[in-house]
Structure 1
Amino acid sequence: MLAGAGPDLFSKFDGVIGMRTALLDSGVTDPFNLVMEKVLSPTRAICSGRDTILLGTYNYMGMTFDPDVIAAGTQALAEYGSGTTGSRVLNGTYQGHRECEDALREFYGMDHAMVFSTGYQANLGIISTMAGKGDYIVLDIDSHASIWDGCALGNAEVVPFKHNDIDAMEKRLRRIPEGAGKLVILEGVYSMLGDIAPLREMIAVAKKYGAMVLVDEAHSMGFIGPNGRGVAEDQGVLDQVDFVIGTFSKSVGTVGGFCVSNHPKFEILRLVCRPYVFTASLPPSVVATAATSIRKLMHGADKRARLWRNSRTLHTGLLEQGFRLGTSETQSAIVAVIMPDLERGAMMWEALLREGLYVNLARPPATPANMTLLRCSLCAEHSEDEVETILGMFQRAGKAVGII
């Protein structure tokens, strides 16, 4: 360190550096630096030179290679160029951005839709704009990082409650001072364990105390609910939700984020939401693919049914093999396999990769209760044979590592 210099700003990361070094020193392939050399389809890619089944991409409805989606993006790229080079409030609103928001309004049956450049920005922007100093945010302790960051940016009072605990949530709301602004934030599907929220009961409690409600449906849009609108639709309470946040990087199959709402004053957010105002808009090719995909998802009943079959088959099969899972029954397209510890989780991840299967390795502190998880996310395009092959891979790898 130079004379007179302050402390090393990297020292705060020494714990993570140590964890990563220990993993790599054990001989395990770096699970956080995988390169896909070629993507063959929504369910397969070439990884480390071999044909690999993809079971960790969140490509739930398999729209990334849909011919209509690709054609729409190709046409927009040729007609409008590679990017907008501007914010939505300046030169960054093209016809495609309006058409994408039209598709979202139609998909959700809501009055307003606002597209962000990422799903992370959607949460960051809406939450920080709606709840500021003097307001209160009541949220599930297992909320996504983008939700927590939105709370921090807005500088509201943050009041977390135990995961999916309705009574704990009500106790927090009861203690908030009379007349204060209140926002309750929930997720339809929680991405770590793949479990769903009891939205019907929770939203009833939120409304009892005069709170607005934001539901993040990132991991349920497209396949949960009669029309694929998410858990709120499935539980019959979508009309009571003030803001639905979602992403294009899961079921829609591209990149971007959005918020839909029926609030009559919603459109003012386009002028006061800083992560929207001060960010370049999505490229025309991206919004074209998103709009086309969203409109096709409106008629995706067959795909939704196939995805549910795949999820149930994998969930049941892994339980029968003796693995510990994040949920006792199939609740979503996420199947979380609980590992004994990070070292054996990484060994299991590598054993599966050698078998020709890619899954997500999730580790503390991002996981609930400091668990190490292998997160599997099913796709509607996985064939029945692929799911059976996946089960065989898990069984062989689990026995080799000593997990089962």
Structure 2
Amino acid sequence: MTDLFSKFDPLIQQREALLATGVKDPFSLVMEAVKSPTVAVCNGKETILLGTYNYMGMTFDPDVIEAGKNALDTFGAGTTGSRVLNGTYQGHKECEEALKEFYAMDHAMVFSTGYQANLGIISTIAGKGDYVILDIDSHASIYDGCKMGDAEIVAFRHNDIEALEKRLKRLPAEAGKLVVLEGVYSMLGDIAPLREMIRVSKEAGAMVLVDEAHSMGFIGPNGRGVAEDQGVLEDVDFVIGTFSKSVGTVGGFCVSNHPKFEILRLVCRPYVFTASLPPSVVATAATSIRKLMHGSNKRAHLWENSKRLHKGLKELGFQLGTDEPQSAIIAVIMPDLERGAAMWEALLAEGLYVNLARPPATPANMTLLRCSLCAEHSAEQVEQILGMFAAAGRNVGVIS
């Protein structure tokens, strides 16, 4: 009889071999206490957090927490229903209004997770006989949305404008086409050349969806993301985002100016058949989004942190994912998984938490230590982080 788990055997063996070296499991860390957006207690030790995507540090904002507590007292713990049944409370509408105001767009639709936002929008608007043209390094939720919608998937080389243009020219002129791009790619922290990519997409008659999960709140004059920063936000048909990064809570969304957008509420399965977010969550999200509209000082400080950490790691001799800092993500490339895991553990022992990212989630089978900075990291903490990387790197033999 076939064991349905046999397909996972190579991964099981790889994990067992890694743990046999004495390294702790880097994918089962428990935070015993969280003291602030930048500090937690891990394994009984106070630890600086550098792997949480809490870019704007909104998780402990007093106004955000108060809004959540008030909603919990007023509306209870959950909705126990879908948005199209009993699951739309006043808070859900207020959250969508905050998003429309933040992006200056006509429509906003809130999902229970960012993953579901991509899954729902892509699978609903691009179906059988349509084409989704996407960057090969796209997030899993984007690929899963394509698969669920049964559209033809056409991938092009990462951030390659010419490759995108060639793929588009080969497709039937009359076919429905959706180009899916990301503002910031989460593995290496690099940004997309959206201005040129959107131009060639529109020339080919394609609609454009941009996932701004890792840029919302931080990049752009108003924090609307890379499309705003490159002056092409008005040319984007759909912007997807998440509340689990800069907004500091959980949930996902899509904003759009498309005149027929509202029909998606009746035909988008991950929206129709999922319980809606709890009232406390949408209250925290709406409050956070409105505060992010006035976050220019925080954005400036986050850029300072990103530039300092990137420069310092480069000077120490680490190989980084980008030549210059392009976002709040800085990827430190490791020689292999074994030394990557050892480096991750050495940093944790120093009192620093980062993300260990490994194949197949990473591009080109790389092992990465992914650092995501926060606007609440102080300049002193950034210097501490560099000292920890120096000590751990020499200890493991990643730098001399």
- Name 1:173's counterpart in structure 2: 168
2:12 is aligned with 1:17? yes
**What pairs with 1:178-257 in structure 2 (closer than 5 Å)?**
178-257=173-252
Of the three residues 363, 366, 371, the one matched with 1:371 is: 366
Q: Distance in 2 between matches of 1:28 and 1:178?
A: 54
Identity of aligned residues (%): 81
Residue 371 (structure 1) shift: 0.1
For residue 261 of structure 2, what is the aligned residue in structure 1? 266
- In the alignment, which of 112, 115, 118 is matched to residue 117 of structure 1? 112
Structure 2 counterpart of 1:281: 276
Distance 1:229 1:18 in 2: 43
Q: Return the TM-score normalized by structure 1.
A: 0.99
Superposition pairs of residues 3-402 of structure 1, within 5 angstroms: 6-402=1-397
Consecutive unaligned residues of structure 2, counting only runs of 5 or more, are none
Letter in structure 2 aligned against 1:197: A
Q: Distance in 2 between matches of 1:318 and 1:331?
A: 15
What letter corresponds to residue 175 of structure 2 in structure 1? A
Please report how far the alpha carbon of residue 15 of structure 1 lies from its aligned counterpart in structure 2 after TM superposition: 1.3
Q: CA RMSD in A?
A: 0.3
Deviation of residue 178 (structure 1)? Answer: 1.9
Question: Matched residue of 1:41: which SS?
Answer: coil
Post-superposition CA distance 1:42-76 (Å, at most 9, x none): 00000000000000000000000000000000000
Counterparts of 2:386 and 2:13, CA distance in 1: 33
User: Cα deviations across residues 354-377 of structure 1 (Å, max 9, x unaligned)?
Assistant: 000000000000000000000000
| Aligned mates of 1:132, 1:17 — CA distance in 2 | 35
Q: Give 1:19 shift.
A: 1.2
* Structure 1 residues without counterparts, runs of 5 or longer: 1-5
Shift of 1:186: 0.2
- Structure 2 letter corresponding to 1:334: I
List, as ranges, runs of 4+ consecutive aligned residues in structure 1 with deviation greater than 6 Å. Answer: none
Letter in 2 for 1:20: R
Match of 1:3 in 2: none
Alpha-carbon separation, structure 2, partners of 1:178 and 1:333: 39
Deviation at 1:9, TM superposition (A): 0.3
Give the letter aligned to residue 249 of structure 1.
Answer: S
SS in 1 for 2:105: coil
* 2:392 aligned counterpart, secondary structure: helix
CA displacement at 1:150 relative to structure 2: 0.3
For residue 16 of structure 1, report the CA deviation from its aligned partner. 1.1
Q: Distance in 2 between the 1:327 and 1:279 partners?
A: 38
Q: CA deviation at 1:403?
A: 0.4
Residues 266-304 of structure 1, C-alpha deviations (whole Å, 9 max, x = no match): 000000000000000000000000000000000000000
The 2-side partners of 1:178 and 1:114 are apart by 30
Q: TM-score, normalised by structure 2?
A: 1.00
Distance in 2 of aligned mates of 1:235 and 1:203: 11
CA distance in 1, matches of 2:14, 2:235: 44
C-alpha separation in 1, matches of 2:376 and 2:235: 33
Mapped partners of 2:190, 2:302: distance in 1? 16
